[in-house]
Amino acid sequence: MGASLAKIDDAVWSKFEIKPAANPTPEKERAAKLADPGFGRVFTDHMAIVRYNQAMGWHAACVESRANFPLDPAAAVLHYAQEIFEGLKAYKRDDGGVNLFRPDANARRFRNSAERMAMAPLPEALFIEAVEQLVRIDSAWIPGGEGSLYLRPFMIASEIFLGVKPSADYIFAVIASPVGSYFKGGPAPVSIWVSENYTRAAIGGTGAVKCGGNYAASLRAQAEAIDHGCDQVVFLDAVERRYIEELGGMNVFFVFDDGSLLTPPLGTILPGITRDSIIALAKESGTPVREELYTIDQWRTDAASGKLKEAFACGTAAVISPIGKVRSANGEFLISGGAAGPVAMGLRKKLVDIQYGRAADPHNWIKKVL
């Protein structure tokens, strides 16, 4: 793999061939879709796509009309699930320009995911270029106000072979989906179900990488949460089955009566970019943040004694969701009376203001695309 990667040079991949859609969505239809996009069902007119094979390395980078992939039924991804993805957003600023938030961090995580899944690592500059090209050509699809354009880079193993081995061929693509404000009228607290039957990740497994397989494995537990009247599932560690790890697709934070924050340490959890950003924002405003193990029993005890003031989940899609209620086979308990707490809401505003360019950006997290 190393040898073929050496073939990648600027002349091969830094130039995306831009093929604008011959029949883009008419403006009226687009406006109607943008008025109430929901999440993940409305898509823009284009996609970015880059191919990989061992002989040529990454090649054939282009931005073209969004369309089906021709995929052989023996394509490796359909059998052995070599698939990874990312999620980031483009935000419209008040001056009409467009911001990306920490795309370099997504590019780095994507490369780490590829390495763990024995896939061809995509050069970080190529990831960022693909995202930016797509945002530029589909910028008319970025909702105003508190909406954003959700970007979904992903990579699949496309070699036609049923033998079990790392694929020799890959397709990397980026698609985009306009999304409204995740919560109309401010974030509503979520209820979560503690999964005691299922775990998400074990040491040495793939919990720390963003692969589709992790999600497939979490869906049964999520369905159990819904069956128990909860919005989301929270997973415990796979060894002692008592340390809080994370939700199916969001990291988790706890807020204590001394003002400090706690979040589970990296290892088997997904290293969220929202998580990392919250840690930075909290620390620079003088809030101590511990990255430490925390058990479900301690959570219940601290909620009862009043030591725990708030808990919240975080991720790119919803930014910060306050956790109002925790339910398990042993009963349930409320957090901050089931309402959104001030620490979660304060951090949320700080982060969102940076993302939309309404606040200073001392960490250089913003990349202006337009």
Ligand X SMILES: *Cc1c(COP(=O)(O)O)cnc(C)c1O
Q: Which residues bind ligand X (CB under 6 A)?
A: 87, 210, 246, 249-251, 270, 272-275, 315-316
CB 95 to ligand X: min, Å:
26
CB 367 to ligand X: min, Å:
15
Q: Pull the structure tokens for residue 307.
A: 């030591």
CB 180 to ligand X: min, Å:
18
Distance CA(363)–CA(289), nearest Å, equals 18
Backbone angles phi, psi at 349, to 5 degrees: -65, -40
Q: Are 62 and 17 spatial neighbours (Cβ–Cβ below 8 Å)? A: yes
Neighbours of 273 (CB within 10 A): 24
CB 236 to ligand X: min, Å:
14
Non-local (6+) Cβ contacts of 135 within 8 A are 90, 98, 100, 142, 149, 151, 176, 369, 370
Q: Pull the structure tokens for residue 340.
A: 């959104």
Q: Which is nearer to ligand X, 113 or 167 (CB)?
A: 113
Closest Cα to residue 151, out of 104, 90, 101?
90
Local structure of 348: helix, strand or coil: helix
CB 241 to ligand X: min, Å:
18
β-bridge pairing 251-256 and 261-263: antiparallel
Q: Which is nearer to ligand X, 37 or 264 (CB)?
A: 264
Q: Which is nearer to ligand X, 8 or 208 (CB)?
A: 208
CB 68 to ligand X: min, Å:
26
Residue 304 DSSP one-character state = H
CB 157 to ligand X: min, Å:
19
Q: Which is nearer to ligand X, 278 or 296 (CB)?
A: 278
Residue 203 DSSP one-character state = T
Q: Which is nearer to ligand X, 275 or 348 (CB)?
A: 275
β-bridge pairing 148-157 and 83-85: antiparallel
**Residue 242 burial by Cβ neighbours in a 10 Å radius (0-12, 13-18, 19+):** middle
| Rama region for 274: left / alpha / beta (φ>0; ψ in -120 to 50; rest) | alpha
Q: Which is nearer to ligand X, 266 or 345 (CB)?
A: 266
CB 51 to ligand X: min, Å:
25
Q: Which is nearer to ligand X, 75 or 279 (CB)?
A: 279
CB 254 to ligand X: min, Å:
16
**Residue 12 burial by Cβ neighbours in a 10 Å radius (0-12, 13-18, 19+):** middle
* DSSP sequence for 235-293: EEPTTTS-BEEEESS-EEEEEETTS-EEEPPSSSS---HHHHHHHHHHHHTT--EEE--
Closest Cα to residue 209, out of 318, 330, 121?
121
Q: Which is nearer to ligand X, 57 or 249 (CB)?
A: 249
Q: Which is nearer to ligand X, 289 or 334 (CB)?
A: 289
Q: Which is nearer to ligand X, 66 or 210 (CB)?
A: 210
CB 165 to ligand X: min, Å:
26
